[in-house]
Amino acid sequence: MLYRDGSVYSPADPFATAVLVEGSSVAWVGSEEGADAQVARSRGAAGEALEVVGLEGALVTPAFVDAHVHTTETGLALDGVDLSGATSLADALDRVAAAAAARPGQLLLGSGWDETRWPEQRPPSAAELDRAAGGAEVYLARTDIHSAVVSSALAERAGLAAAATTPGWDGRVERDDHHAARDAAHVHLRSDPARRRELQTLALRAAAAAGIGSVHECAAPHVGSPEDLSDLVALSRGLDEGGALPEVLALWGELVASEEEARALVDRLDLPSGVLLGLGGDLCVDGALGSRTALLREPYSDAPAGSPAPSGHGYLDAAALRDHVVACTRAGLQAGVHAIGDAGVALALEGFALAAEVLGAPAVAGARHRLEHVTGVDAAGIATMARLGLVASVQPAFDAAWGGPDGVYATRLGRERALALHPFAPLAAAGVPLALGSDSPVTPFAPWEAVRAAAFPHVREHAVSARAAFTASTRGGWRAARRDGEGALVPGAPATLAVWAPSDLVVQAPDDRFQAWSTDARSGTPGLPDLTPGTPAPRCLRTLVRGATAHDAGVLS
């Protein structure tokens, strides 16, 4: 299939207007004159005729890689009660009541609420959920999925009767109580593979429609079962009636203490070769800032009076993490952790540094371990990450949604600490590789918005160029998976690509620090859509995964 008469984002030819896909690979990239030659050659050759697709000015790029995803939970969010757009507590309760009326007596699952956006500045209580849902079981995850509110009926089934009968209990659960409530709410998934497949397909189709060709599934025992992960991988590797699905690469967040334990865990997971990247992802050092569970050096600015943990929670210690990193390195696996608060990131880096004392820094760096989120990293931490070759798997959409001088982070931490978060440019300048992700369903599949958020963050000094952010969301995702040869449209590479509706292409820098790249067309620097804040994001017309169609908007012919 020859795509021609458009723009092709390729290092093989910065002026390319056409790309030829043969089977699962890119066969050729070049000009319209070269495309004419490809057509003429196909007419003179025996066999199947070349199919030509006129792009009419559309842009062809490598498909995006989302480097941090929870696929089944994304499906649940897409199929459940969506509170992300709720404008008030009353609006949220109305949405719960409407869902209860539509599904009388059924368990109600929802997500996306953020009390800081509501006039009431608080989530629903258990009593309010009981009234809205008519006594049904309700589980509503906060937008960061590190806490939730539940109804009395679900609390009772989850074994939280002690909490539910405590005077003043408001239905909010976190840490162990949250895990118990989530397990109770998701119990049906463990016994219903067909339902899991339905939700996973829904999520992967949404990813493909956003131009995403691969996702890094950050699984863990507290998130889902090994069966959930193996079913997801099997689904992504097959073709169904809807075509291809984005490729799933997996991280499993379970702590190990030795190489033997790491290898035994890999054997138990029993995933196809090359799918399991390592033991990390959602192996949590701490929690989330919105839920006040991320671990901080200083207390939260808005910690409630008498809070038992005014500085958040730490879930691992440095010695245990050291042993985990050593075990993974020796087993040839990537280690990784979820670390958000400044103390949480420092604790994580202490564990990696201790592992380097055992193995040597080159061995740790060669393993290409990763830190997920790494929101509150400082200059010393960035230097440690660079020295140890750690990948920063980051979510710029967090900054877009909750950053800035007046955002949720400023409420939780105060303005000064909030504006130090998400230092994309300092990380990149130090040589720390970036991979961009969404943490879906925490933020939706919207890769161009992630690129925009990295290029135009709230703090100007944290901005990278749009081109660098795009690379971090394509080749950077493959590099984080230790597959360095993928993510660029060059002959011989996998034909995992996306086609975008025509738009003006520019070489865009967020400020005058990035003028080393010429905007003159003669420079050969390939352009990208204009991502200036306020402009619409590009629309995906088609997504291919290794040459097979995963999404088709029905526009190209």
**547-551 long-range contacts, CB within 8 A, separation 24+:** 547/21, 547/22, 547/23, 547/24, 547/25, 547/494, 547/495, 548/24, 548/239, 548/243, 548/244, 549/243, 549/244, 550/208, 550/213, 550/243, 550/244, 550/245, 550/246, 551/205, 551/208, 551/209, 551/211, 551/243
Task: Read off the pLDDT of each residue in 500-510 and give the average, rounded to a whole number.
Answer: 84
pLDDT, mean over the chain: 92
Q: Looking at the predicted structure, is the pLDDT value of residue 368 above 50? A: yes
Q: Looking at the predicted structure, is the pLDDT value of residue 425 above 80? A: yes
Q: Looking at the predicted structure, is the pLDDT value of residue 512 above 70? A: no
Order across the sheet with 64-69: list the strands. 64-69, 212-219, 247-252, 276-279, 334-339, 370-373, 391-394, 434-436
More confident: 201 or 557: 201
pTM: 0.91
Residue-level pLDDT at 186? 79
Residue-level pLDDT at 222? 87
Q: How confident is the model at residue 164 (pLDDT cuts 50, 70, 90)?
A: low
Task: Read off the pLDDT of each residue in 459-480 and give the average, rounded to a whole number.
Answer: 97
Around 461, how many Cα atoms within 13 Å sit in the side-chain half-sphere? Answer: 5
**Protein fold of 2-63+487-503+538-552:** Urease, subunit C; domain 1 (2.30.40)
**533, 231 Cβ separation under 8 angstroms:** no
Around 281, how many Cα atoms within 13 Å sit in the side-chain half-sphere? Answer: 31
Residue-level pLDDT at 177? 85
Domain ranges of the chain: 2-63+487-503+538-552, 72-190
What is the per-residue pLDDT across 392-411, written as a single tens digit (0 to 9) for each? 999 999 999 999 999 999 99
The percentage of residues in the chain with a pLDDT greater than 90, rounded to a whole number, is 76
Structure tokens at 355: 């592992």
More confident: 165 or 286: 286
Q: How confident is the model at residue 229 (pLDDT cuts 50, 70, 90)?
A: very high
Residues 175, 125: Cα–Cα separation, whole Å: 18
Residues 255, 345: Cα–Cα separation, whole Å: 17
Residue-level pLDDT at 515? 46
**182, 224 Cβ separation under 8 angstroms:** no
The percentage of residues in the chain with a pLDDT greater than 70, rounded to a whole number, is 94
The stretches of 293-395 forming alpha helices (DSSP H) are 318-331, 342-359, 361-367, 379-387
3-state secondary structure 147-212: EEEECHHHHHHCCCHHHHCCCCCCCEEEHHHHHHHHHHHCHHHHCCHHHHHHHHHHHHHHHHHCCE
Per-residue exposure over 194-229, b if at least 16 CB sit within 10 Å of its own CB, e if not:
ebbbebbbbbbbbbbbbbbbbbbbbbbebbbbbebb
Residue-level pLDDT at 223? 87
Residues 392, 415: Cα–Cα separation, whole Å: 24
What is the per-residue pLDDT across 248-306, written as a single tens digit (0 to 9) for each? 999 999 999 999 999 999 999 999 999 999 999 899 999 999 999 999 999 999 998 88
Q: Which of 542, 485, 556, 546 is nearest to 23 (CA)?
A: 546
Residue-level pLDDT at 165? 61
Q: Looking at the predicted structure, is the pLDDT value of residue 166 above 80? A: no
How deeply is 537 buried, as exposed, middle or buried, from its count of CB atoms within 10 A (0-12, 13-18, 19+)? middle
Residue-level pLDDT at 192? 85
Residue-level pLDDT at 168? 66
Task: Read off the pLDDT of each residue in 4-29 and give the average, rounded to a whole number.
Answer: 95
What is the per-residue pLDDT across 237-263, written as a single tens digit (0 to 9) for each? 986 566 799 999 999 999 999 999 999
**Protein fold of 72-190:** Diaminopimelate Epimerase; Chain A, domain 1 (3.10.310)
Q: Which of 147, 159, 90 is nearest to 119 (CA)?
A: 90
Residues 22, 557: Cα–Cα separation, whole Å: 17
Cis peptide before 272 (omega within 30 of 0): no
Q: How confident is the model at residue 212 (pLDDT cuts 50, 70, 90)?
A: very high
Task: Give the β-pairing of 18-22 and 25-30.
Answer: antiparallel
Residue-level pLDDT at 517? 46
Instruction: Write down the residue that tokens 């075509």 correspond to.
Output: 243
Q: Looking at the predicted structure, is the pLDDT value of residue 174 above 90? A: no
Residues 184, 188: Cα–Cα separation, whole Å: 8
Q: How confident is the model at residue 521 (pLDDT cuts 50, 70, 90)?
A: low
Q: What are phi and psi of 414, to 5 degrees?
A: 90, 155
- Least confident segment among 72-81, 135-144, 358-367, 515-524: 515-524
Q: Looking at the predicted structure, is the pLDDT value of residue 370 above 60? A: yes
